[in-house]
Amino acid sequence: AMSKPPTILEKIYAQRAQDVELAKKTPGTTPGDIAKLLSMHLAPPLIPFVDRLRRNPSNILSGSNEILSPSLMAEIKRASPSKGPIALTTPVAEQALTYALAGASVISVLTEPHWFKGSLHDMSMVRQSISSVPDRPAVLRKEFVLDEYQIAEARLYGADTVLLIVAMMDDELLTRLYKYSRSLGMEPLVEVNNAGEMRRALDLGAKVIGVNNRNLHDFNVDMGTTSRLVDMVKDRDVILCALSGISTPQDVRTYKGEGVKAVLVGESLMRAKDTAAFIRELLDWPDLRHSEPQRNPVVKVSGVTTPGEAQKLAGAGVSILGLVFDPTLANSITLDQAKAIRNVVPRSTLNPTSNPSQQTNVPWFHSHLSAILLQCTGQRPILAGHFTTHPSHTLTFILEVIATLSLDLVQFDGPIPADWARFIPVPVIRRF
C-alpha cells in the first residue's frame, strides 16, 4: 500500500527539525553559545505575558480590571502556505510600532523562514521598535517549536512568550517545553485545535490557550472551532484566545459574547490600508489619538545671547529658550553669558524623572515630550542647552554646563552618540 503523503504540518515539522540541528552546529549559535549569551543578560527585559494580555484600550481607559473587549494579538506575517506571499516587503519594525500605538496587547512574529518568510531578525527588529513605548505589547515568537533550543533563541532575541502547538508533540515533550519556557520567565501560548488537545492543554496547567480555527494538517479554516471549545475553559483561570481567520467586527463580537478574551489577527491586518483605523473598527475601541487633551503649541527659540532677549521672549510666552555653546557659530555664548541669562530665567520646576502617562500607548517621543510640556505653561520658559560635534563638547563638558546652569533640557545638534543621553540627568532631544 502506498503511504499517505505528509500533511503541511508534518512537512514544516521535518524542515524545522533539520533547521534546528543545523543551527545547533553553526559556530556562534550552538546551544552553548546561546546559553552563554543568556547568562550574560544580553536578552532584553521581559514583561509578563498574562498581565499584558489582560490590558487593552477597552479596560485601560475605563479603569476596569476586567477584559471588556477581547485583547488584540496583532501578527507580523509576510507569507503563509495557504495564501503564499501576503506582505513580503512590509517594514516589520514600522508595522509593529503601528500595532503597539493602536493598542495591541501582543505582537506575534512569524519566525519560520520557508513557508512564512519570517526570521529571528524580524522578531528582534520588532522588539527594538517597541522597546520605548511606555506600556509596550508582549512579543510572541510564532514558530513551530520542537526543541528547548528554539525557546532559548526566542528569549535571546526578545520574545516575552512562545507558541507551543499541542498537535506537534506528545505529552512528555509538551510538558518539558512548557516547563523550560516558564523557567526562562515566559508563560507560553498553548495552541489547540480540538477537544482532545484542549484537555491536554488544561492538564498541562496552561494559563493562556489559543484555539486555532485553522487545522494545521490541511490548513482549512473553521471559525466554529473556537466556539465549540469555549465551554471547556468556563470557570477556569485561563485566558482563551481565538486564532486564525478573524477579519470582521462580527467575528470579534461573536467570540466576545462567548467569553473569548483575545483574538489573533494576521493577514487582514497586514493587508489593511489604514492599520490603526482597521483595528479600532474590528475591536470597537476608542480612538486613542483623541484621548489626550489638546495643548497650546510649544514655541522654542534658539540662539538667545543676552538676558534682555531672554526676558523679552519669556514675556511673549516662548516655552523653550535655546542656548548655543559652539564657538564656531555666530550665536554662540560663553558659560558666563549663559549664567547671566539663567539669572533672569527662574529655574523651572521640570521633573525629568516623572513617569509619562500610562493610560494609552503613545510613541516614546510623545510621552517624553508630554512630560516636558506639562511644565511649559507659558508662565516661565525652560532652558535648553545646544551641543554639537565640536571637539570641546565632550560628555564631561555637557554635564558641567548642565550642573552650572541647572539646564532643564539638552538638545543634540548633529551625530552626537545617542547613548550619552543615558548619562545626562535631564531630558534629551535631538535635531536631525
375 neighbors 384 (Cβ within 8 angstroms): no
Under the banding of pLDDT at 50, 70 and 90, the label for residue 4 is: confident
Is 157 in contact with 179 (CB distance < 8 Å)? no
CB atoms within 10 A of CB 209: 25
Same fold, 8-290 and 300-431: yes
- What is the CATH T-level fold of the domain 8-290, as seen in this structure? TIM Barrel (3.20.20)
Boundaries of every domain in the chain: 8-290, 300-431
Neighbours of 3 (CB within 10 A): 5
pLDDT of residue 169: 96
pTM for the model = 0.78
Helix (H, G, I), strand (E, B) or coil at 231: helix
392-403 residue pLDDT tens = 999 999 999 999
Rg value, the chain, Cα: 26
Q: What is the pLDDT of residues 329-345, one digit of tens each?
A: 999 999 999 999 999 98
Separation of alpha carbons 178 and 208, rounded Å: 12
Q: What integer pLDDT is reported at residue 286 of this predicted model?
A: 73
Q: Model confidence over 154-213: pLDDT tens digits? A: 999 999 999 999 999 999 999 999 999 999 999 999 999 999 999 999 999 999 999 999
CA dist., res. 186 & res. 145, Å (int): 14
Query: What is the Cα–Cα distance from 158 to 43, expressed in whole angstroms?
Result: 6
Picking from 111, 136, 109, 130, the residue whose alpha carbon sits closest to that of residue 49 is 136
Report CA-CA distances (Å) from 263 to 181, 301, 383: 22, 48, 47
Whether the predicted pLDDT of 292 surpasses 60: no
User: CA–CA separation, 22 vs 387, rounded Å?
Assistant: 49
Q: What per-residue confidence (pLDDT) applies to 361?
A: 62
How far apart CA 291 and CA 248 sit, in angstroms, is: 25
Closest CA to 261 of 230, 225, 287, 221: 230
Tell me the C-alpha distance between 372 and 375, whole Å.
6
Comparing CA positions, the residue from 188, 138, 137, 199 lying closest to residue 165 is 188
pLDDT value, residue 64 = 66
pLDDT of residue 354: 45
Question: What backbone phi and psi angles, to 5 degrees, belong to 186?
Answer: -110, 110
CATH number of 300-431: 3.20.20.70
pLDDT tens-digit readout, 368-394: 666 666 655 556 788 999 999 999 999
